[in-house]
Amino acid sequence: MRHEPRVLVVEDEPAIAELLAINLRHNGFRVTWAMDSEAAQRELDAVLPEVILLDWMLPGESGLMLAKRWRAQARTKAIPIIMLTARGDEVDRVAGLDAGADDYISKPFSVKEMLARVRAVLRRRTPEQAEGSITIGALLLDAATYRVSYNEQMLKLGPTEFKLLHYLMTHAERVHTRSKLLDRVWGDHVFIEERTVDVHVKRLRESLGPQAGLMIETVRGAGYRLTAQVDLRSAASGTALAELDES
Ligand code: CA
């Protein structure tokens, strides 16, 4: 039987909860709905979900407080949390991420984007993808054999481009600053300028070709991101996640 990841939706507005639940179920997720913090805690005590969609504004305890509490508890701290915020307020986003949320969805949201973000946090938390082969969209990287292909066409990458792509694919759907990429991909090379990253990203895009190259996004003023959602690249909520990834 196919594995259906469990999603806990914590949302006090029935219309939004229903929109989330219907679309998640339609896409192979098992959904439980909690209307407030107490119900959410009861659900968590009973069974652990694989992802939590958590509304910020709840009656009683806020989503922010819940995120903080769940992050602090051993039993729940590894569950990805995606916060739902009414407005794309940057201060809110930072506060939410500081509280331990993994990602954000701003209301009103597109269903497609919501599903993409849920899948992205699930991918990130799947440990076996750190080694072996990783597939994102039509792009496949096999770390064991050093092979990269797109739509089953083999691609040629230099060693630095390979390492860069490997890092981006294992940490997809989030934004990485140039200094972070230098640190994670190049290691402790203090003499390398941040511009070096741009040079290698350019080469990587060229090696990937016109289609797969689009998966490497430049996020203005922030850095780079690899995304499967090429058609969402201009979505307003995307760029706002820029400086937030310091995990
Ligand atoms: Ca609400």
pLDDT digit string, tens, across residues 44-88: 999 899 999 999 989 989 999 999 999 898 888 888 999 998 766
Q: Name the 3-class secondary structure at 108.
A: coil
pLDDT of 189 reads: 57
CA distance 84 to 66: 13
- CA nearest to 85, candidates 46, 55, 64: 55
CA of 88 to the centre of ligand 1 (A): 15
pLDDT band at 114 (very low <50, low <70, confident <90, very high): very high
For 12-21, the CB contacts below 8 A with 24+ separation are 12/36, 12/55, 12/57, 12/58, 12/59, 13/55, 16/55, 16/84, 16/107, 19/111, 20/53, 20/114
pLDDT of 201 reads: 97
CB 66 within 8 A of CB 36: no
Nearest 5°: the CA angle 46, 49, 52 is 120
CB atoms within 10 A of CB 202: 13
pLDDT band at 126 (very low <50, low <70, confident <90, very high): low
CA of 59 to the centre of ligand 1 (A): 7
CA of 214 to the centre of ligand 1 (A): 35
Choose between 140 and 180: higher pLDDT. Answer: 140
pLDDT band at 95 (very low <50, low <70, confident <90, very high): confident
**156: pLDDT strictly greater than 80:** yes
CA distance 243 to 227: 16
**121: pLDDT strictly greater than 90:** no
Write the pLDDT tens digit of every residue in 164-177: 999 999 888 888 88
> Would you list the domain boundaries of the chain?
6-123, 133-237
CA atoms within 13 A on the CB side of 247: 19
CA distance 21 to 26: 8
- CATH class of the 133-237 domain in this structure: mainly alpha
Pairing relation of β-strands 139-142 and 147-150? antiparallel
CA of 17 to the centre of ligand 1 (A): 10
CA of 56 to the centre of ligand 1 (A): 6
CA atoms within 13 A on the CB side of 143: 16
The pLDDT > 90 percentage for the chain reads 48
CA of 107 to the centre of ligand 1 (A): 10
CA of 57 to the centre of ligand 1 (A): 4
The pLDDT > 70 percentage for the chain reads 86
CA distance 69 to 65: 6
What is the rounded average pLDDT of the residues 180-194? 77
CATH of 6-123, one of 3.40.50.2300, 3.40.50.300, 3.30.230.10, 3.90.1310.10: 3.40.50.2300
Choose between 219 and 18: higher pLDDT. Answer: 18
- Which residues is 134 bridged to in the sheet? 141
CA of 14 to the centre of ligand 1 (A): 9
